[in-house]
Amino acid sequence: MIKPHGAETLNPLLITSTDELSAAQHEAETLPSLLLNSAAAANVVMLGGGYFTPLTGFMNLTDALSVAEKMHTVDGLFWPVPILNMTDDVSEIEGAARIALRDPNVEGHPVIAIMQVEHIETATSEELDTITQQVFGTKDTAHPGVAVFANLGNKIVSGPIQVLNLSYFEHDFDGTFKTAVEIREEIAAIGWEKVVAFQTRNPMHLAHEELCRMAMERLDADGCVIHMLLGKLKAGDIPASVRDACIRKMVDVYFPQNSVMVNGYGFDMLYAGPREAVLHAIFRQNMGATHLIVGRDHAGVGDYYGPFDAQAIFENEVPDGALEIEIFAADHTAWSKKLNKVVMMREAPDHSPDDYVFLSGTKVRELLSEGIAPPAEFSRPEVAHILMEHYRANP
């Protein structure tokens, strides 16, 4: 099986021993505490589940700047996005060697982790601008990821952590949320060797389904993991529970049994385009995938990135040997009226735009809101039914 990133074995930071967890919970109640923001809490969950192997906790300012500018830590670990715990108020934890990190997304703000504090640093506006520009490619606060980052604060609290729980994901998405450890174990148990991962934050329409099928066939893969984001999205995106239902229905009806796993991970979407695509590759390698589908505008938003920037970064900026996972570079897929099937557009040079079935996201939402299923060339009827029920209940 493919090795984890930068390590021989996974490094999940979640405490699994009952005795150790009990001791940590008792200690946490004696410690000064910091209420995390949602972005930092999501980082805790990813660290806890082994997705961010080989990291042991939150980066300091020096590493964050190095990662932003050079895509590696000071010690040379290849990494595309700073993993930070940022806040605007450290008055409750100043001088503390160990602190309890509290979960902002669960009622009562229970302790989610304990941190060994190595540094509490203040980032200058210039340093924050550097991180923003390098990671997101823009400082425009109309960009949803930039808007979130700009409001996290300028204090950076760094150090290794021990994770006590995986927030609301374990309970709200029971059966779908899986750690990298669990997915890797499941892949090993099934005996898959060549594994394709498909990233999604949306329900999957017919073109997405066919893209997974194309990748599996062309790579001669043993299986595919459809790996959906379960954390915070931007306003207007489809809730995770609805996406989950849509994807499971599609897999149950249209894929051979035991050829596709449907799982999810607990992270807040960054919308960071190319840099986030590389991060996606790292944690898919950690969960055991050998290939990641990177399509048009992967992890992008609006017009901030070119349609294939997320593929180009792997060719032009990721050093040789930095990753073991490989990329399946995909073009935009759509239904061809000429060929009566879904095709990658670059593979149909004789087609004009009129030869495809295209529907904008706005048009699809209008149809679904009116109780009208999109055409079968765009969406499976079973998936459309679930989405229509969602829009009917949430006009």
Q: Catalytic residue positions?
A: 201-202
Cis ω on the peptide bond leading into residue 349 (within 30° of 0)?
no
Helix (H, G, I), strand (E, B) or coil at 356: strand
368-394 per-residue burial string, b: 16 or more CB within 10 A, e: under 16: beeeebbeebbbbeebbebbbebbeee
Closest CA to 228 of 275, 264, 273: 264
Closest CA to 117 of 149, 88, 73, 85: 85
Start-to-end CA span in the chain (Å): 46
3-state helix, strand, coil in the chain (%, to 5): 35, 20, 45
For residues 112 and 122, is the Cβ–Cβ distance under 8 A? no
Residue 35 amino acid letter: L
Locate all alpha helices (DSSP H) within 29-60, ordered by sequence.
Answer: 38-48
113-152 per-residue burial string, b: 16 or more CB within 10 A, e: under 16: bbbebeebbebeeebbebbbebbbbbeeeebbbbebbeeb
State the DSSP H helix or E strand holding residue 158, giving kind and residue range, or none if neither.
strand 155-163
Residue 13 and residue 29: Cα distance in Å, rounded?
Answer: 20
